[in-house]
A and B are shown apart, each in its own frame.
Chain A
Amino acid sequence: NAGVTQTPKFQVLKTGQSMTLQCAQDMNHNSMYWYRQDPGMGLRLIYYSASEGTTDKGEVPNGYNVSRLNKREFSLRLESAAPSQTSVYFCASRPPGPEETQYFGPGTRLLVL
């Protein structure tokens, strides 16, 4: 049981390049989330998926797209990377019910030059 896995761990992009961050969970959770973490700003929700086949915008969706490929996988795509997207990206998943915690992946550190 690997929990939540993310690839890659680190990435350097040039402005304008595109890339996809991958996330997978093997806990059969319905909900999955993408956050970005910036110093002094905590975690900000980019997109989430309450169940397979649905996605919704979070607090900071501009410049990103997501795909809930199946119940296990939730990917985040940057079509044209900008320096403002330099951040640490965390994927999380959660089973149903408000008392249930989110389980976080180890994070992807992205630098956009």
Chain B
Amino acid sequence: GEDVEQSLFLSVREGDSSVINCTYTDSSSTYLYWYKQEPGAGLQLLTYIFSNMDMKQDQRLTVLLNKKDKHLSLRIADTQTGDSAIYFCAEYSSASKIIFGSGTRLSIRP
């Protein structure tokens, strides 16, 4: 079945890079997404990558996709306190469904 897995917590020092990892099971997924959820709010799309791409960069964000290993990562360069949030990996499945991981809570140390 479809499944998306992420580690639950990540702590990084302010100014360092954060790398959040995700694995998925559906090899036919065409799009993979990263969402950000700030406290008390809904999810907002950060970025997405099409399955025929290996990498996508958008300002401080870099998404890497390893289709062979079904591994997706999100790198945030120069992590700031405003980056504290829960980050969800998600894959597009069939029949209009998007499958979400459990979310990784990113905390920033001064």
Contact = CB atoms under 8 A, between A and B. Distances in A.
Contacts of A31: 96
Interface in A34-64: 35, 40-45, 48, 50, 56, 58
Interface string B4-48: 001010000000000000000000001101000000111111001
A4 B30 CA distance: 25
Contacts of A43: 43, 88, 100, 103
Interface string B71-105: 00000000000000000100010011111111100
A11 interface: no
A45 B97 CA distance: 9
A94 B45 CA distance: 12
Contacts of B98: 94, 102
Contacts of A107: 40-42
Nearest to B9: A40
A99 B29 CA distance: 11
A74 interface: no
25 contacts: A4-B42, A35-B100, A40-B8, A40-B102, A42-B100, A42-B101, A42-B102, A42-B103, A43-B43, A43-B88, A43-B103, A44-B100, A48-B97, A90-B42, A92-B43, A94-B96, A99-B31, A99-B48, A99-B50, A102-B43, A102-B98, A104-B42, A104-B43, A107-B40, A107-B41
Given A101-B33, A102-B43, A107-B40, 8 more contacts: A41-B102, A42-B101, A43-B88, A45-B97, A94-B98, A102-B98, A104-B43, A105-B42
Interface of A: 4, 31, 35, 40-45, 48, 50, 56, 58, 90, 92, 94, 98-99, 101-102, 104-107
